Amino acid sequence: MGAQEADFFLDSVKHLTDLSDCQGEVDHVSSGSAVVPETGRIASQSREDLISRYQRRVFAVIYRMTGRHSEVDDLCQETFLQIFRSLPGFREGTDLDAWVYRIAMNVSIDYHRRRSKEKGAIEVLGRNGSKNEEELPDEEKHAAVRKALDVLPAAQKSVVVLRLFEGLSHEEIAAILEIPAATVRWRLHSALEKLESLLGRYLDV
């Protein structure tokens, strides 16, 4: 994030935290106060800007982490609610991108934990299927990939999504997940080995 963008977001955060600070007063003081509408207007604009800035990225991360069309929207909403709720704890010098990614990842992983394992789905992989990729409709192949990804522990899946799809460096991922960069590399390589073994029949030429 460039310096100009960083300033913009810090300003946004400041306005939002200002609003958060004064909301308690709004409950007790007349809403006709001249200050409140002004602060509210700025904050409202900043909220929209922040959502616009990140909603596609948040959507993509959650979609790839969960693979659930029907629930991605709810999880995106939950992510942004958590982002706005935790704004007062945001400090200057924090990487806003990393912070948003971290919250989106946590929401996805919490969802992952809540969801029961699809035992039957796993059986499809590596069995009963045609050996010839050309005979397989794309939908089946894509479903197999989805299921293989769901077999990975959430910690490995997070690294795969952030590295392959978001194109982040090991160091950036380490900052988001708050783990050493060596652990990022190890998780990524373990995940690739596992995915290769699960999806082997789709990789033969």
Partner 1 sequence: MNCEQARGLIPAFWDGSLGPEEHQRVQQHLESCTACAESRDRIARLEALLKDSLRVPNAPDGSWADQQGRILAALESSAPGEDHRAPRRPYFRMALIAAAALVAAGIGILLWKEAPPHRSSVEVAEKLSPVIPSPRLPEPVPAPPETPTPVPPEAPPLPREALPSTTVAGLVPGSPEHLKQMADESVDVGLAETATERVVVFLGAADSRLQELRRVMGKDDVMAAALAKAYILLLREGIGPLLRDREESPESLGGARRIALERARKQEDSLSLLGGAASGTLKVTLNEAIEASRELAKP
Contact positions with partner 1 (CB under 8 A) in 162-201? 163-165, 170, 178-180, 182-183, 185-190, 192-201
- 22 alpha carbon, distance to own chain's centre: 30
Q: Using the minimum distance from each CB to partner 1, give the nearer residue, 14 or 190.
A: 190
Question: What is the DSSP track for 66-98?
Answer: H--HHHHHHHHHHHHHHHHHTGGG--TTS-HHH
Q: Does residue 115 interact with partner 1 by CB under 8 A? A: no
Encoded one letter per residue, x for contact with partner 1 by CB under 8 A and - for no contact, window 89-108 reads --------------------
Spatial separation of the C-alpha atoms in residues 139 and 90, rounded to whole Å: 42
- Asked if 149 interacts with partner 1 (CB under 8 A), we say yes
Does 48 engage in binding with partner 1 (CB under 8 A)? yes
CA distances from 25 to 31, 61, 82, 88 (A): 9, 37, 22, 16
Q: How far apart are CA 100 and CA 174, in angstroms?
A: 14
51 near partner 1 (CB under 8 A) = yes
Position among 29, 41, 115, 117 found at the interface with partner 1 (CB under 8 A): 117
Residues 17-46 that bind partner 1 (CB under 8 A): 20, 23-24, 27, 44
Nearest approach in angstroms of CB 173 to partner 1 is 11
Number of residues counted as binding partner 1 (CB under 8 A): 71
Contacts of 180 (CB under 8 A, 6+ apart): 174
Stretch that binds partner 1, among 3-11, 29-37, 97-105, 155-163 (CB under 8 A): 155-163
Sign, CA torsion 58/114/200/188: positive
Give me the least distance between CB of 50 and partner 1, in Å please: 10
67: left (phi over 0), alpha (psi -120 to 50) or beta: left
Select from 4-12, 30-38, 79-87, 91-99 the region that touches partner 1 (CB under 8 A): 79-87
Q: Quick one: CA dihedral 55, 61, 65, 70, positive or negative?
A: positive
Does residue 160 belong to the site contacting partner 1 (CB under 8 A)? yes
